[in-house]
Amino acid sequence: MGLFVPHFSPFVYSDLKVEEPGVLFFFSQLAFPAGALLFGTLSDKTLHIRRYLVIQIVLTSVFLTAFGLTKAGSLIQATIYISLMHFFIAGINPLINVSYLQNNLPSEKLGQVRMYGTIGFLIPNIVTVFFPVSRIILLILAAGFMALSLSLIYYLPSGRSLRSQNQQKVEFKQLLRLLFSPLFLFFLFIMFLFYFQFAPAEFIVSEYLREIKIQAWNIPLDSVSLAWVLSACSEIFFFSISPFILKRTGSLGMIAVAVLFGMLRYTLMILILPGSLWLIFIQILHGWHYGPAYLGSVLHAGEKAHPSRQATAQSAVLVLSKAAGAGWSGLILGNLAGNNNFVAVFSISLMVALAALLLLVSYYKVQKKIKFFVNDNQVV
């Protein structure tokens, strides 16, 4: 992912040169949580982990390669390939999280496990800072490294066992009961707002970073990779101290930290001009904009969901929050960015972040009175 995420938006805007990039962002985000929900639900129902991870890794590599080889201007073809890629990659993190949490490992250490993923993200960006290559090659290399991860998949447990006395199998009607929970819908809406304001950090920022020209010792550096090296380092630092923060803030406090850093980030970005060297250093805030929200939402879904339904609950959060939030943000703000409306994009993101923070305070007060999203025999 370290080869894919930083160079995704520059590839879309500068290599594919499609007329409506927002459409591509929109459908790719709809596919992402759909895949997470499917594979999370299948894992809950069958208690298998490894077999689904193998399927997802292989097909992610195939469709990422196809996306990287798409001809310029082919909006429909590119949208299909990237949507299928997101569909199959979507369930990987939820299944890895569940394999960790369901095997009696401490939840407060989950952030440190996630840190190793960020280190993996960091390494290729350090290399490409000094040895820039074409974005097409980067995407194909990303697919290749994804395929190589199959060699490590057998270190994960092949399946999982239920830790509770409730041995009922998951059904889609259980998911529907979850979606009719007012508390869960409240939480979903907050995360919808979070992902709406966060999406430009992945869809748009790299395209502005690409415009920055920088060199050291007369060597031209890749500004996109350099900025993401800084963001990965800050994320590693966050995850390394996340147990300390979690004990003092709780899962919802972690989400609040993410929103506050997002507000600071967008405020600073509004105050500078596109192409400014300072944009690279503002990217340091990315790790604290994303990391606490990722960890906080995963842990809060686990706290409010029945242990045997954690994958379903976590994936359901993605269905309406990441899909709708990042999807609509990509559609609206992605096209705005294509018209160089720099200030408008990040001003909207800042206002949405403020709304998310205010609602999170209200949710914190409400959820203290309710143990689970769904109670009694309908627990999900």
Give a yes or no: residue 67 inside a domain.
yes
Residue 303 has phi, psi (to 5 degrees) of -70, -35
Residue 341: inside a domain: yes
Other C-beta atoms lying within 10 Å of the C-beta of residue 280: 20
Q: Domain of 349?
A: 5-154+171-369
pLDDT in tens, 291-315: 899 889 888 887 887 766 666 677 7
The pLDDT, as a whole number, for residue 380 is 44
Task: Tell me the whole-structure pTM to 2 decimals.
Answer: 0.79
Burial 334-344 (b: 16+ CB within 10 A, else e): bbbbbeeebee
Maximum Cα–Cα distance across the chain: 67
- In this prediction, residues 149-157 reach a mean pLDDT of 66
Judge whether 330 and 196 are in contact, CB under 8 Å.
no
Q: What percent of the chain has pLDDT over 90?
A: 14
CA dist 223 and 130 (Å) reads 10
**Rounded to whole angstroms, how far apart are CA atoms 280 and 228?**
8
The reply to whether 376 falls in a domain is: no
Terminal C-alpha separation, the chain = 31
CB-based contact 139:68 (threshold 8 Å): yes
Task: Give domain status of residue 74, yes or no.
Answer: yes
The pLDDT score that the predictor gives to residue 364 is 92
Flag whether 215 is in a domain: yes
Per-residue pLDDT of 56-106, as tens digits, reads 888 888 888 888 888 888 889 989 988 998 888 877 777 776 666 666 566
Number of domains in the chain: 1
Is 172 strand, coil or helix? Answer: helix
pLDDT at position 165 is 33
Residue-wise pLDDT tens digits, 364-375:
998 888 877 777
Q: What is the CATH number of the domain that holds 37?
A: 1.20.1250.20
Structural domain includes residue 95: yes
Q: Nearest CA to 170 among 312, 300, 320, 50?
A: 312
Each residue of 49-65: pLDDT tens digit?
777 788 888 888 888 88
Whether residue 163 is contained in a domain is answered as no
What is the separation of C-alpha 166 from the centre of its chain, rounded to a whole number of angstroms?
A: 31
pLDDT tens-digit series, residues 103-123: 656 655 666 666 777 787 787
Give mean pLDDT, residues 175-184: 80
pLDDT digits (tens, 9 = 90+) for 121-151: 787 777 777 777 777 777 777 777 777 776 6
The mean pLDDT value of the chain amounts to 79
> Does residue 293 form part of some domain?
yes
Burial class of residue 362 in the structure, from the number of CB atoms within 10 Å of its CB (0-12 exposed, 13-18 middle, 19+ buried): exposed
pLDDT band at 195 (very low <50, low <70, confident <90, very high): very high
SS (H, E, C) 70-97: CCCCCHHHHHHHHHHHHHHHCCHHHHHH
Using CA atoms, how far apart are residues 108 and 239, in angstroms rounded to an integer? 10
